[in-house]
């Protein structure tokens, strides 16, 4: 049983969310807290309504909103390595949410002292933290579990369709395209030039001020390094419809994708002979799905920048 729990907590879970979504989620959480206190009146909060001080309950909601907003903006900025999307998992997600709850409890303690609540002493701190956990713990676990299950089902179905289309496309011969054409790459200075057959090219990876070009030669994986930005290469190769920028650091050759894997964080591209998976950003995942599953529906959609 414990091994299953550990396996579940280690499953990938998305973290990177837009500033707008962070603001919206903090607002919804704050609104929920205020309404919950007004409707159910736990922990003696009904006394504030009887005293004509219902604004204090809205104050607790604002404290919740402010703390969550600060937590989701400040801590990821201070510790970007820990909050990296590729390393985020269910356990970290639940832990981070519990951190919200405990910090909200501490902030509510300070707010209660500020508005003159008489029973606010240092000995009451554990009670405030427990109240915060009692309100939020169940919602956190259920929320993370529900999101994880939804995203897994979503990407499982879409990856199945993509892989079926990839397998089918390998059995089709497109007379209009020549897989033997060469794709040319050049360095920033123009002094170094490389030509790789389209059928052999796998993908291009950006690494600092260089790009790594991965390709095969008689089923042997090769890597060529050039001093150039990926943005410049993408601009030079914009007329090559078979190339797709799936991530800010990767430009891939669509026909040579071996298969697509998916988890709650999104898609990952698997290439034959390559030990690591190529990530797909959430911003480009819809374009990738359309590009692969509807290859004969006219002109391919333009990938997002």
Whether pLDDT at 174 is above 60:
no
Q: Tokens 């790594």 belong to which residue?
A: 212
Adjacent-strand bridge partners of 259: 270
Q: What is the mean pLDDT of the chain?
A: 84
Whole-number pLDDT of residue 298: 41
State the Cα angle at 75 between 105 and 208, rounded to 5°: 165
Q: What is the DSSP string of 29-67?
A: HHHHHHHHHHHH-GGGTHHHHHTT-THHHHHHHHHHHHH
What are the extents of the domains in the chain? 2-159, 178-293
- Beta strands (DSSP E) in 158-209 are 182-186, 193-197, 201-207
Rounded to an integer, what distance in angstroms lies between the CA atom of residue 60 and that of residue 138? Answer: 19
Exposed, middle or buried: residue 233 (CB in 10 Å: 0-12, 13-18, 19+)?
Answer: buried
Given a contact cutoff of 8 angstroms between Cβ atoms, the answer to whether 269 and 280 are in contact is yes
User: Which pLDDT tens digit goes with each residue over 88-120?
Assistant: 888 898 889 888 888 988 898 889 888 877 666
Backbone phi, psi, residue 51, to 5°: -85, 0
Backbone phi, psi, residue 38, to 5°: -75, -40
Confidence bin at 32 (pLDDT 50/70/90): confident
Confidence bin at 135 (pLDDT 50/70/90): low
Whole-number pLDDT of residue 297: 41
Q: Which of 247, 2, 11 is nearest to 147 (CA)?
A: 11
Whole-number pLDDT of residue 299: 40
Cα-trace Rg, the chain: 26
User: Which pLDDT tens digit goes with each residue over 189-237?
Assistant: 888 999 999 999 999 999 999 999 999 998 899 999 999 999 999 999 9
Rounded to an integer, what distance in angstroms lies between the CA atom of residue 137 and that of residue 143? Answer: 10
User: Which pLDDT tens digit goes with each residue over 39-92?
Assistant: 888 767 777 776 788 899 999 999 999 999 999 999 999 998 898 887 888 889
* Least confident segment among 62-66, 157-161, 233-237, 273-277: 157-161
Whether pLDDT at 2 is above 70:
yes
* Least confident segment among 146-155, 241-250, 272-281: 146-155
Percent share of the chain, pLDDT over 90: 37
* CA atoms in the 13 A half-sphere facing the CB of 94: 19
Range picked from 92-106, 142-156, 265-279 for highest mean pLDDT = 265-279
Rounded to an integer, what distance in angstroms lies between the CA atom of residue 152 and that of residue 267? Answer: 11
Q: What is the DSSP string of 118-138?
A: TT--GGGHHHHHHHHHHHHHH
CATH of domain 178-293: 2.40.50.1020
Given a contact cutoff of 8 angstroms between Cβ atoms, the answer to whether 12 and 263 are in contact is yes
Whole-number pLDDT of residue 119: 65
Whole-number pLDDT of residue 175: 43
Whole-number pLDDT of residue 113: 85
């Amino acid at each position: 049983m414990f091994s299953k729990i550990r396996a579940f907590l280690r499953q990938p879970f998305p973290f990177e969310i837009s500033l707008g979504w962070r603001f919206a989620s903090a607002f919804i959480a704050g609104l929920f807290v205020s309404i919950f206190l007004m409707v159910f009146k736990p922990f003696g909060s009904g006394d504030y309504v009887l005293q004509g001080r219902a604004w204090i309950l809205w104050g607790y909601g604002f404290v919740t909103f402010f703390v969550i907003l600060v937590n989701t903006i400040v801590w990821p900025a201070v510790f970007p390595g820990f909050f990296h999307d590729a390393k985020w998992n269910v356990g970290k997600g639940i832990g981070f949410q519990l951190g919200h709850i405990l910090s909200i409890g501490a902030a509510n303690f300070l707010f209660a002292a500020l508005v003159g609540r008489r029973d606010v002493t240092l000995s009451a701190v554990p009670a405030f933290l427990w109240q915060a956990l009692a309100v939020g713990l169940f919602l956190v676990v259920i929320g993370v579990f529900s999101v994880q299950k939804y995203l897994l089902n979503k990407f499982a179905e879409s990856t199945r369709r993509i892989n079926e289309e990839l397998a089918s496309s390998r059995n089709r011969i497109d007379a209009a395209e020549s897989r033997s054409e060469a794709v040319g790459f050049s360095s920033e200075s123009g002094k170094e030039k490389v030509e790789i057959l389209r059928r052999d090219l796998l993908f291009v990876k950006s690494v600092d001020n260089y790009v790594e070009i991965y390709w095969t030669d008689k089923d042997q994986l090769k890597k060529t390094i050039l001093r150039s930005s990926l943005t410049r290469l993408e601009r030079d190769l914009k007329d090559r419809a078979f190339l797709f920028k799936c991530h800010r650091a990767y430009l891939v050759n669509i026909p040579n994708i071996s298969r697509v894997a998916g988890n709650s964080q999104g898609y990952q591209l698997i290439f034959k002979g390559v030990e690591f998976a190529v990530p797909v950003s959430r911003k480009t995942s819809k374009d990738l799905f359309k590009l692969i599953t509807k290859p004969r529906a006219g002109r391919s959609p333009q990938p997002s920048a």
